[in-house]
């Protein structure tokens, strides 16, 4: 099988590529702006890489959509601070660029495996989010954070509509706070623009305070990337065509914790780390208001737990890595890479 991955150097892209090359005889065709995470893949004869930009290298993309069997467009801005700072950039990249890819998949009758997001559920009050039943709820226009959720939701709806009219074969997957090695870089965290787990680890490393937005009672279910990739591989294998035109949550409902609990757990794990147990001081954990941290355009999501019934039934999948192990593995990899 020939797989096209746009955004192949990203967090999900490079983990998926490594797994495909290790476990299958498939070929991967990938494009990204950089290749710093692709050290394991780059010399593999089944890996074909172009250093490029999806807004520029359009001919290469169209040629490879024609040539490949499955298309996985992973290019997107996916950090909340940027949703607020650059909502038009989010729209241009996450929506417009990806819409062109979707339309080419329709034109060339190619299967698309598209990353939706847990963010589409927004402020849904359900205790567990169900792919085919839960309401998708966002806030007012002035709260620009929701542009990411809206962009993704509209793409989900467009893809679904093409699918139900017989013009596109798709699977939408919804990652729930996947974490793991190479999630976000230290440089991004230095600016305060990374996702929460990397942000907290970077603060611990730099001995800066860990900031709990509005007290940190909001909860997330953190999913270790190897579990996520297990599910994604089963989606790509698509046994008996069972994933055809399905939407599937990929998250770990058993790894739910508040941001405050996350901060304390990461601090403890950092203090236990062999290179840091003798440090003279450690980051304090402080509160900050959402407006101060993110600006006026932010609004938080208080609980976000997936139902994984569909993933269990369609894929025979269950996540296996618990919260503490997920955080320890992510922390150690980050420290090994950045120290």
Beta strands in the chain (DSSP E): 2-6, 27-32, 47-51, 70-73, 111-115, 170-175, 178-179, 210-213, 219-221, 223-224, 246-250, 256-258, 285-288
Q: Is 212 among the residues that bind ligand UGA (CB under 6 A)?
A: yes
**Out of 41, 61, 150, 213, the residue judged to bind ligand UGA by CB under 6 A:** 213
Residue 28: left (phi > 0), alpha (psi -120 to 50), or beta? Answer: beta
Q: How far is the CB of 75 from ligand UGA (least distance, A)?
A: 14
Report whether 103 contacts 162 (CB < 8 A).
Answer: no
Q: Is 13 among the residues that bind ligand UGA (CB under 6 A)?
A: no
**Out of 28, 31, 301, 327, the residue judged to bind ligand UGA by CB under 6 A:** 301
For residue 202, what is the enclosing H or E element? helix 196-206
Q: How far is the CB of 36 from ligand UGA (least distance, A)?
A: 20
Nearer to ligand UGA, 81 or 110 (CB): 81
Q: How far is the CB of 240 from ligand UGA (least distance, A)?
A: 28
Q: Token pair of 202, please?
A: 């970077």
Residue 97: left (phi > 0), alpha (psi -120 to 50), or beta? Answer: alpha
**Out of 138, 147, 259, 323, the residue judged to bind ligand UGA by CB under 6 A:** 259
Residue 86-125 contact track with ligand UGA, rule CB under 6 A, x = bound: -------------------------------xxx------
Q: Is 323 among the residues that bind ligand UGA (CB under 6 A)?
A: no
Q: Is 29 among the residues that bind ligand UGA (CB under 6 A)?
A: no
Q: Token pair of 156, please?
A: 């989900």
Report whether 291 contacts 142 (CB < 8 A).
Answer: no
Q: How far is the CB of 290 from ligand UGA (least distance, A)?
A: 6
Q: Is 211 among the residues that bind ligand UGA (CB under 6 A)?
A: yes
Q: Is 326 among the residues that bind ligand UGA (CB under 6 A)?
A: no
């Amino acid at each position: 099988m020939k797989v096209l991955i746009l955004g192949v150097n990203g967090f999900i892209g490079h983990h998926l590529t490594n797994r495909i090359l290790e476990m299958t005889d498939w070929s991967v065709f990938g494009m990204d702006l950089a290749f710093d995470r692709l050290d394991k893949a780059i010399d593999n004869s089944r890996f074909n890489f172009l250093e490029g930009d999806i807004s520029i290298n359009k001919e290469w993309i169209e040629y490879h959509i024609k040539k490949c069997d499955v298309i996985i467009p992973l290019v997107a801005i996916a950090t909340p601070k940027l949703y607020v700072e650059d909502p038009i950039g989010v729209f241009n990249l996450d929506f417009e660029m990806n819409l062109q890819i979707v339309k080419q998949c329709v034109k060339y009758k190619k299967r698309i495996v598209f990353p939706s997001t847990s963010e589409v559920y927004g402020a849904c009050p359900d205790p567990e989010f169900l792919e085919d039943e839960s309401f998708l709820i966002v806030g007012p226009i002035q709260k620009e954070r929701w542009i990411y959720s809206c962009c993704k939701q509209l793409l989900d709806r467009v893809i679904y509509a093409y699918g139900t009219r017989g013009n596109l074969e798709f699977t939408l997957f919804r990652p729930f706070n996947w974490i793991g090695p190479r999630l976000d870089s230290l440089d991004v965290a230095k600016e305060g623009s990374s996702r929460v787990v990397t942000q907290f680890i970077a603060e611990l490393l730099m001995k800066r305070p860990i900031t709990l937005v509005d007290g940190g009672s909001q909860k997330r279910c953190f999913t270790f990337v190897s579990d996520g990739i297990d599910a994604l591989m089963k989606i790509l294998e698509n046994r008996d065509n069972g994933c055809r035109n399905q939407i599937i949550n990929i998250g770990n409902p058993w790894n739910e914790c508040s941001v405050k609990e996350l901060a304390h757990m990461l601090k403890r794990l950092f203090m236990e780390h062999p290179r840091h147990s003798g440090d003279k001081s450690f980051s304090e954990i402080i509160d900050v208001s959402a407006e101060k941290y993110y600006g006026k355009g932010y609004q938080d999501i208080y609980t976000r737990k997936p139902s994984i019934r569909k993933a269990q039934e369609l894929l025979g999948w269950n996540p296996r890595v618990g919260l503490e192990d997920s955080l320890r593995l992510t922390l150690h990899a980050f420290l090994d890479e950045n120290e």
